[in-house]
Structure formats: C-alpha cells, structure tokens
Chains A and B, each alone.
Chain A
C-alpha cells in the first residue's frame, strides 16, 4: 500500500464546484508533479465541509490546516510553503470575526465548535468515491451487526427506542414507520429513499449523497432487512448530477464487494438498490406523489390512508424515509438507542442539519443537537448578521414553514417548540432575515413558489393559493383594500384544511405566520400605502434632500435609467416617472441626501 506523509483534502461538493474547486485540484496535481511530490502527498476529493461561503475549502493533514477561498493561483504557494517547508500559509487561513489571529485548525473555527456531526459524520472526511474509506470509518459494520446478531424485530426496536423522527419535514417516529411496514402483508416489499429535496435553500440531502453515499446504501439495506424488503429505490432529482454520479459509483462498488446483491454476508438476505431520477417537482417530495413518479406516472398525490407502509409502490408495502433520516441509522445501530436518545430534547432526539442561508455571515450546512437555540445558530455558528444590521426574523421549514421573530431567539429548537410558535422544522432550511426585509414580500415569495409547484389535482390548493397570491400581489403593489387581511386569513384556513396533501395544507403557513408576528406591516401596506422596510417598489419614492445634496453628481452617474438630473455643485432632482427604484443612488450618495 502506498504511504503518504500528507493528505490534501479538496472539497468537491456542489458549492465548492461552483466556486472553482476543480481548478484548484488540477493545480495541486500539476504543482505536486512539478515538485516530485506526487508519491509523498495524496490529493483527496471529499464531500461538503458545510462552510460553503468560504469555498473552495482545502484542508491539509496531518496538521489539519483549514484553508479557505483557495484559488488555483494560491496553490504553488501552498505546495512550496506548506508541503515542502512546513510553513502554514497564514493569509489563507480562516479568521474568526473580531479575532486578530487566524484560526489554524478545524476545531478552532467558531462555525464548527458548537456543531455535532452524526448525519454528516463522513462529509468532508472521506473520499465519497472510495468504499474503502467508508469501510475504514466503520462503514457496513452496522449492516453486518444486524445480519449477524439481530432479528428484524430487534432492529425495529432499537430504532424505536432511539427516538429518531423523520427528518424530511413531518417528524413522524421512524421506528413506528418501520414497524408498520414490517407488519404489512405482502410477497414483495420496497424501501424508498426520498432524496427529492425541494425547499428553496436546503441542500443537506444533496450534501449527504455527495459526501457520504454509502451511509444511505447501508441504512437502506438495514431497513430492507428490518421490514422484509429486497429492493430499494433512491428517488433523487436530476438537478443533482454530482449526487447522482457519486451514488451510482457507490452502488456499483457495494455490488462488487457483495454488500448489495444476493446472500449478503452469507445470511440469506438479498437487497439491491436502483436510482430513479425526478424532474424536480416540489410535490414529488410528498410520498404518494413520489411513488406515482417512480411508477412512471404523473407526480400527483393521492389520499391517505392507505399509507405507503400498507399500500405503496405498485400496491406493495413500502417504507419511505428521507436521506438525513437514513444517514442516522448506522450510528444508531452501532452505538445503541441509548446513545442517540441521550442527545437532544425530550421528544426530539439526536441532531438536525440546517442549511443556513440569507442575511447571515457564515452561510452553509450546520448540524447541531436538537434543542440548540436560534441565537446560537445565528450568532455563534452563523457569525451574526452582516454589516451590523439587526436580526428581524428567521424562516424555518421553507415554503411550508413560518417565520420566527426576534422575541423567540432563545427558544430551544425542536419539532414541538417550532410548531408551538407557528413554524415547523421542515427539512431544515433556515433563512435569516435582517431589518431590511419586508415580511409581506417574503410571504409573497414563498406563496409564488408553492403556487407554481401546486400540482393542480385538488381545487383548494390549485385555486386557493392562486387567489391568495392575487391578494398578496395587490397589497405589495399598493392596491391593497380594507378587508384583504381577513380575506387572506379565510382563504388560508380553507386551503390548509381542505387540501389533499402536505403541499397545500402547509402552503398558507408563511402568510399566517407573518400575519401573526408582523400584522402591522400588512396594515402599513394596505392603509398607509407604505412599505416599512422599503422593499416593495410601488410603495417607495426616492427624493433628494436639497439641503444635504452637494451636487457631486455621483448619483446621476450611478442611475441606470438617467432619472437624476442637475448641475454640478447644485442640488439634483429625481424624475419619479423615469425612476425604477433600484436604490443604486442611495448606495453611492456620500452625504445621505437621498431618502425613500
């Protein structure tokens, strides 16, 4: 076996691919070659480290130096200084805000300090295209354990006792779901992995498939043994080409080693997995629509019951779990239910992965124990709000969830607490909003999304969301009427009560929760024709204060439509008919003379 003195880990998650990690990797190969280091130093392409804002990320072991925003031009310095001379290249290390010294190591970075990685345990540690590296991290030990030493009922019992709940949104107890599928009668049963991640901004499932695909394969095989299924399907969207490719490679490797196929571990248990590509419809994340799509039909939900555990794919009992749920299974089997149940809160055990996005310094993927407060996530891990602005609210659960205002920053986050304050866990999207966000505009954004994604099968969702959208649009355009708020509330209740599936039932949530906490903003839009955050263009007018304007002409130069006129050194004016309210002038004005 080849022996290397150093490993250069280059993140190859989708985030880092788009910030240029491929060029960095190629530069490393070239430079190592030039310096005759190719047999001393190994380059490892890994999955996502989670700290996407700082990408492309490179970690060099054995020191564990964490380099961020590395470009191909930086590579020769890294090779000559770090790899040859053993000098850490300080200018590329991560700096915690408000600290002079750079944080050299992984563990010194605030972003990682409060995280606990169970589902993401191998992401950024191993090469996802190497089954050996997964096996080195105790991969397939859990599958061996259940096939050798446990009865199917015992496996289900461990999952039940662990307290694991579905990570895809609903939070249904996983062990119970397994039990239903195990009890159902059928000559053929199926295990399905729901990787149809659709919440805007959420990418934990993609990162898990990209960074640790074998953990999903192993967990699905364990589930197959527990419920008595021999065939598995991963339903993943075609928009995730890297995830699909790595999953394909992983399935192929697992088959070659006999970890998928017939008579695994000589136990008589057969299991295999196929991939089904989705076309990216949000509704296909709903389990019955997903099953229809796998069967080759149009992705539309059907009424439940019968639940898929009883009557699923091709009418056979089918167990469906989300990617993150599956990722938790192997550690639970290996370390035991008590270990998992010791993490988290009373009714929400373990950890949750959040995709941190929006107005926050450190965007990326974070995994924290259930019960962590929003404040810890936004301020300690997320590094706070950029430009010293104030926190206004955070949206959890994506378009099905709701907003959490600043008053609830210290609520420990779990399934129950989020529901209590009118939001939901969802799949873990967490969008942070600063004081410049208009909450009516936010509700409009999410409703546009759900309205667009409504499959059209049931009327409450198809028509109801459309009508709600019309009302919201006119409010943001300054044409809101008295009674619109009440109309929205009435429609919301009808849509959520009468819709067929989760998409429609939860679609009004963003409207309801913004109404609950920011009703005054709706009222300002409707009655005062004013957008307090200055976002809704129809309700904003830009004017120049003649007393403050020095006639420097910067605003006139910045204006893309030539709406600003005036002589040099004399106050300027904005022509409201030409102005498109883009705000470019405000950013340029050095005297604060432009008001909106």
Chain B
C-alpha cells in the first residue's frame, strides 16, 4: 500500500461486497416467489435480474417474496424510493426489458404494467 488513493480505491471495490449488509439501496426488485410464481419461471427471472445487476454494477437489492398475490405470476415489483411499480407475467426477456427501460432508463414498461 503506497498511497491513500490506493486504499480508497480498494475501499470502493470492497464496499460493494458488503453493501447488502450495511446499507439500504435506492432500488429494490421484489420477485414474487410463491409456488405458482416459481412454476411460472420466477427463479429464471430472479437469475436474470441478478445477471443484469452484476453486468451494470448496480447498487440494488433483489428479494424474493411469496406474499405478492396476483393472477399474472411471476410478478416483479420495482421499488425506487416511495414509488412501487408492479409488473405481471414477467419472462426472462421481459425482465431484461424492465432493466433497460425502467431501472436504467426510468421509463415504465407499459405492456407489462399491472398497477402502480
């Protein structure tokens, strides 16, 4: 270790490793995960969300929640601050779209929208 800048760079990298434990992130993705949702592909959707988050190095939280009730499983809820947007019938491809449109671009994907 030769400089404080080097230490700070390392700290920024390392913070990402423990962020989950110590901070509330700005964005939360809730994946409906009851039995119906899992049968309809919720785990694949969750994996895609994780892949995308890693690809874009985003500070967000992905949680599974079996209490999200809806006919159109898998349901994905995107939570940004106070705003909660519900999407239904989300496939792996749709999850990628939600990522590029809504999470990165702040545009709601209207054809998947259940409610706000």
Interface residue ranges, A against B (CB under 8 Å): 1-7, 9, 40, 61-63, 83-87, 125-126, 132-133, 135-141, 144, 148, 257-259, 264-266
Partner of B18, one of A3, A136, A140: A136
The residues of A that contact B18 with a CB separation of less than 8 Å are 125-126, 133, 136-137
How far does the Cβ of B36 sit from chain A's closest Cβ, in whole Å? 11
Is A125 a contact of B62 with CB atoms below 8 Å?
no
Q: How far is the CA of A137 from the CA of B7 in the complex (A)?
A: 12
User: Does B4 contact A265, Cβ atoms closer than 8 Å?
Assistant: yes
Contact A135 B10 (CB under 8 A): yes
Number of interchain pairs (Cβ within 8 Å): 95
Once bound together, how far apart are the Cα atoms of A126 and B14, in whole Å? 11
**Apart from the given pairs A1-B13, A86-B31, A265-B1, 7 other A-B contacts in the complex at a CB distance below 8 Å:** A4-B20, A5-B61, A86-B66, A135-B7, A135-B11, A257-B10, A258-B1
Nearest 7 CB-CB pairings of A with B: A86-B64, A3-B54, A136-B14, A5-B62, A258-B1, A132-B14, A86-B65
Q: Within the assembled complex, what's the spacing in Å between the Cα atoms of A266 and B21?
A: 33
CB of B73 within 8 Å of the partner chain: no
CB < 8 Å: which of B13, B22, B53, B66 contacts A125? B22
In the complex the two chains form, what is the Cα distance from A408 to B31 in whole Å? 54
Across the interface, which residues of A come within 8 angstroms of B35, CB to CB?
Answer: 85
Asked whether A265 and B2 contact (CB < 8 A) given A61-B20, A85-B34, A135-B11, the answer is yes
- Within 8 Å of chain A (Cβ to Cβ): is B26? no
Once the chains bind, are A135 and B4 in contact (CB under 8 Å)? Answer: no
Quick one: given A6-B20, A87-B66, A265-B2, are A40 and B33 in contact (CB under 8 Å)?
no
CB distance from B75 to the nearest CB of A (A): 12
Which stretch (B42-50, B89-97, B105-113) binds chain A?
Answer: B42-50
Within B8-35, which residues are at the interface with A (CB < 8 Å)?
10-11, 13-18, 20-22, 31, 33-35
For A85, what are the chain B residues with a Cβ–Cβ distance below 8 Å? Answer: 33-35, 38, 64, 66
A141 touches B34 (CB 8 A): no
Given contacts A132-B13, A258-B1, A266-B2, contact A2 B20 (CB under 8 A): no
Complex contacts, B34 vs chain A, CB 8 Å: 85
Q: Which residue of A lies closest to B4 (CB)?
A: A144
Interface of B with A (CB < 8 Å)?
Answer: 1-4, 7, 10-11, 13-18, 20-22, 31, 33-35, 38, 43, 46-47, 49-50, 53-54, 57, 61-67
A84 close to B38 (CB less than 8 A): yes
Contact call A62/B11, Cβ cutoff below 8 A: no
CA distance A259 to B49 in the complex (A): 38
- Of the listed residues A40, A62, A137, A139, the one surrounded by the most CB atoms of chain B closer than 10 A to its CB is A62
CA separation between A13 and B64, bound complex, in Å? 29
Which of A7, A125, A133 is B14 in contact with, Cβ under 8 Å?
A133
Query: Does A135 lie within 8 Å of B14, measured CB to CB?
Result: yes
**Bound CA span A335–B110, Å:** 48
- Is the CB–CB distance between A264 and B1 below 8 Å? yes
CB–CB A40/B46 < 8 A: yes
Q: Which residues of B contact A1 (CB under 8 A)?
A: 13, 16-17, 54, 57
Q: Is the CB of B17 within 8 A of A136?
A: yes
What residues of B have a CB within 8 angstroms of the CB of A265 in the complex? 1-4, 7
Q: List residues of chain A with CB within 8 A of the CB of B11.
A: 135-136, 138-139, 141
Subset of 17 A-B contacts with CB under 8 Å = A2-B54, A5-B53, A5-B62, A5-B63, A6-B20, A7-B21, A84-B43, A86-B33, A86-B66, A125-B22, A126-B18, A136-B14, A136-B15, A139-B11, A144-B4, A265-B3, A266-B2
Which of B11, B21, B34, B50 gathers the greatest number of chain A CB atoms within 10 Å? B21
**What separation, in Å, do the CA atoms of A4 and B1 have in the docked complex?**
28
Shortest distance between the CB of B77 and any CB in chain A (Å): 12
A9 near B21 with CB under 8 A, answer yes
Decide: B2 and A62 in contact? CB cutoff 8 A. Answer: no
Q: In the complex, A63 Cα to B16 Cα: how many Å?
A: 17
